[in-house]
Amino acid sequence: MTLAERLRLLADRDFRLLFIGQSLSTFGDAAATIAVAFAVLGIGGSASQLGIVLAARYVPLAGFLLVGGVVADRLPRRRLMLSSDVVRACSQAVLAVLLLSGTAHVWQIVILQAVYGTAEAFFTPSVAGLVPDMVEASHLQVANSLLRTTFSLSLVVGPALGGLVILRTGPEGAIVADAATFAISAMLLSQMRTGDRSAAERQPVRLVADLKEGWAEIRARRWLSFTIGNATLFNALAVPAIVVLGPELAQSELGGVGAWSLLVAMVGAGSVAGSIASLRVRIGRPAAAVALLLAIAGSEPAALASGLRLPIIAALCFVAGMAMAMAGITWISMVQHHVAPSSLSRVNSMDDFMTFLLLPVGYLLVGPLADTLGPHVAMALLTAVPLVACMATLTSTQVRELGWVPARVVPKDLMRASPAGHA
């Protein structure tokens, strides 16, 4: 299949509506994230208060992800996504009004960001489960690649776009634009036909029982639990190492903020390249490929502390960004192929939950670890642990041999309740 034939997926009306809405809201969100930070500082907030505002979005996001996964597997996913977009549009619009009227306080921004994060917790697992309802199994990787491409582009363009808007209109202008993108996304979702279950297909939400079923789906597939474990370690160790220690090393050894900006841009450019490459490349052994790609992406901390010249480190950052994007696309595509649609949102939310749960722990531990061992040794250690985990994963026959054809799997916990099994 040629690239042009793959891009014809955008001719599908429902997928095109989803793609446009997601592209707009992704860019709006990337710009608004910077705007919220400057808004807090602009009303006299301190660095500590800014930290509270940022945490206010991600704590509810992590806290409600599991609930969001259960609800998305039981209720109409499209309507959940539409509701999430409406809530986020309203929260950003209220924040913009408060800023424009000069009546905004930090506590109000904290509440609005908490509302935003809660709504996002229901959107993320819903969209992961909706895509397989919209496109054929053979087109899943292309669909995920297209969606990831706009996300990757937003990492590169979004901050710069946000900076320009803030310079011209102030933070409130970028926040108004973000609210508008969510409103447009909601309008587009309202026109879609995919993603609504009939009354006969809907099931009541049984939070504890449904979570047990989702966990049983993960435990029944060793390749799935291993891959989630690898991603969790990567986000708990490698990501904090890059974000916390990277700027310090750039400042002391690579030339300062300009060098760090270049390296961040190269990761973003690599992510775009990886997303585009995934439109063409069809990996035969997806679980093994994800392990290898995560190992490559996880080498970025070691590259930053390697003492090599800046152009070489920039090239390594590009490769790391490319590997991370391809790993993410391959991961979600293989999960959508192998996990039953009725459990897909829960599996995705459990993966995201573990990632978000350990990420703050990593942020707290990286600094003391560097103070104790020195930044270079800490970077090496924080590279080595995820790397060893990825290589250990490849000792599993399931991981090495998993292809794209779904195997019939019946989780032991569900055998009694569901004799027919799961695909």
Question: Where does CATH 1.20.1250.20 sit in the chain?
Answer: 1-136+151-196, 206-417
Contact 154/34 with Cβ under 8 angstroms? Answer: no
Pairwise CA distance, residues 380 & 367, whole Å: 14
421 falls in which pLDDT band (50, 70, 90)?
Answer: very low
Q: What is the pLDDT of residues 173-223, one digit of tens each?
A: 889 999 999 999 999 998 887 756 544 455 666 767 777 887 888 888 888
Name the band, by pLDDT with cuts 50, 70 and 90, for residue 5: low
State the Cα–Cα distance between residues 319 and 317, nearest whole angstrom. 5
Residue 405 has a pLDDT of 66
| Residue reference for tokens 């917790």 | 121
Residue 354 has a pLDDT of: 79
Give pLDDT tens digits for 40-78. Answer: 888 887 767 777 887 788 788 878 888 888 888 888 888
Mean pLDDT of the residues in the chain: 81
Q: Give CA angle at 122 (359, 344), nearest 5°.
A: 85
Q: How far, in Å, CA of 388 to CA of 298, rounded?
A: 11
Amino acid letter, residue 68 = G
Choose between 406 and 234: higher pLDDT. Answer: 234
Average pLDDT over residues 357-374: 80
| 1-136+151-196: CATH, from 2.60.40.1580, 1.20.1250.20, 3.40.50.850, 1.10.150.120 | 1.20.1250.20
Ordered DSSP codes for 371-400: HHH-HHHHHHHHHHHHHHHHHHHTT-HHHH
Confidence of residue 423 (pLDDT cuts 50, 70, 90): very low
Which is more confidently placed, 259 or 392? 392
Residue 399: Cβ-neighbour burial (10 angstroms; 0-12, 13-18, 19+): buried
Tokens of 423: 């695909």
Q: Give the pLDDT mean for 237-250.
A: 81
**Is pLDDT above 90 for 376?**
no
Average pLDDT over residues 72-96: 91
pLDDT at 44: 85
Q: Which of 28 and 413 is assigned the larger pLDDT? A: 28
pLDDT digits over 297-347, tens only? 988 888 888 888 889 999 999 999 999 889 988 888 888 888 877 788 888
Q: How far apart are CA 61 and CA 42, in angstroms?
A: 26
Q: What is the pLDDT of residue 224?
A: 85
Check residue 183 and give its pLDDT. Answer: 94
The CATH number of the structural domain formed by 206-417 is: 1.20.1250.20
pLDDT computed for residue 323 by the predictor:
92
Highest mean pLDDT (candidates 5-19, 251-265, 284-298, 395-409): 284-298
